[in-house]
Amino acid sequence: MIAYIVRRILYAIPILLGVNLITFALFFFVNSPDDMARIHLGVKRVTPEAIAKWKEDRGFTRPLLYNAAAQGTAKLKDTIFYQHSLRLFVFEFGRAEDNRDIGREIAERMWPSLAIALPTFLVGVLVYITFALLLAFFRGTYLDTWGVVLCVAMMSVSVLFYVIGGQYLMSKLWHLVPISGYDDTGLLAFKFLTLPVVVGVVGSIGANARLYRSFFLEEIGKDYVRTARAKGLSEPRVLFQHVLKNAMIPILTGVVVVIPSLFIGSLIFESFFGIPGLGSYTIDAIHSQDFFVVRAMVFLGSVLYIVGLILTDISYTLVDPRVRLE
């Protein structure tokens, strides 16, 4: 098991290197540093001196991949790729356009992100499983049919609609909670977080409840369920004790992969609800065309996704004794 995990972590290195190369190519080959300087300094009326200074400040006067002028290992080290992209591996993200340290921003902003993503995730999983179980319990009846139709209809609504509709109903019409904002102290935090969490959960009920329902139905068709019924167990007991346990395997493994990514939060929700997390940080960076922040977030997102994949594999062995990691 330990050997397996170590191997998986080693496998992650070439993948992250690939991610780095992709962002490097996007930001430095498609557009030269000169182009970027021009964008940030204003496309027209920009002097060559200003561009040179901009590049000098950021160390972009180095060659991209190979420095023929340098000596020894500096041939590779004294390049933009080494100095800027490979530093990401030790989580040195550098500085944003406004000269703030990206690493420190990330460390500060991931907590608000987590504060909304984690409750949404936990409440969501509970609600989806409950709904799916209800649908599975009433399978084949009108309740099930119309429940599935409702799920499909809810899936077809844009997430933006849930956000805007939720803000309108709960804040403007009923005055239950503030429209947006964030505070991390006690009751106030709860007030601010309620709306995004509710909207986040309701917005994805359709897709998830339908998916989980299909997991349950698949299990219900199996032999051990027939045996349980033949023993004379009541339908709720069959459903809760036997089916639920086994259907948790596909549910859990699908859910574990997103857990690490909860840190980076959601772009849409954080910008709509004014949460100062990593999602709104990314949106701000996109709007101000701050490549370094976007690149740092791409790298961080990939790292967290890979961690999620490793956790998924481990969780397989925990919930399903048939699986052994070699």
CA 247 centroid distance within chain: 24
Cβ proximity to another protein, 44 vs 231, nearer residue: 44
Task: Yes or no: say if 23 and 84 are a contact pair by the CB < 8 Å rule.
Answer: no
* Closer by beta carbon to another protein, 173 or else 230: 173
Q: How far is CA 256 from CA 123, 207, 275, 280, 304, in A?
A: 15, 17, 24, 24, 12
Q: Does 122 bind another protein (CB under 8 A)?
A: no
Decide: 77 and 56 in contact? Cβ < 8 Å.
Answer: no
Q: In angstroms, what CA-CA distances link 270 with 158, 181, 265, 267?
A: 17, 9, 7, 6
Phi-psi map region of 94: left, alpha, beta (phi>0 left; psi -120 to 50 alpha): left
Exactly one of 14, 48, 186, 232 binds another protein (CB under 8 A); that residue is 14
Nearest distance in Å: CB 94, another protein = 16
Q: What is the CA radius of gyration of the chain?
A: 25
Burial class of residue 134, CB neighbours in 10 A (0-12, 13-18, 19+): middle
Distance (Å, rounded) from C-alpha 199 to C-alpha 263? 19
**Residue 94: Cβ-neighbour burial (10 angstroms; 0-12, 13-18, 19+):** middle
**Residue 176 is a binding residue for another protein (CB under 8 A):** no
With CB under 8 A as the contact rule, the residue among 5, 155, 211, 248 that binds another protein is 155
Q: How far is CA 124 from CA 8, 146, 279, in A?
A: 30, 21, 19
In the window 22-41, what residues touch another protein (CB under 8 A)?
A: 22-23, 26-27, 30-31, 35-36, 38-39
Q: Could you give the string, one character per residue 263-302, with x where binding to another protein holds by CB under 8 A and - elsewhere?
A: -x--xx--x----------xx--xx-x-x--xx-xx--xx
Q: Is 25 exposed, middle or buried (0-12, 13-18, 19+ CB in 10 A)?
A: exposed
Q: How far is the CB of 126 from another protein (least distance, A)?
A: 25
x/- mask, another protein, residues 42-81, rule CB under 8 A, reads -x--------------------------------------
Smaller CB separation from another protein, 115 or 264: 264
Size of the site for another protein (CB under 8 A): 48
Instruction: Write the binding mask 123 to 152 for another protein: x where contact by CB under 8 A, - elsewhere.
Output: -----------------------------x
**Contact residues for another protein, defined by CB under 8 A:** 14-15, 18-19, 22-23, 26-27, 30-31, 35-36, 38-39, 43, 152-153, 155-161, 164, 167-168, 172, 261, 264, 267-268, 271, 282-283, 286-287, 289, 291, 294-295, 297-298, 301-302, 305-306, 309
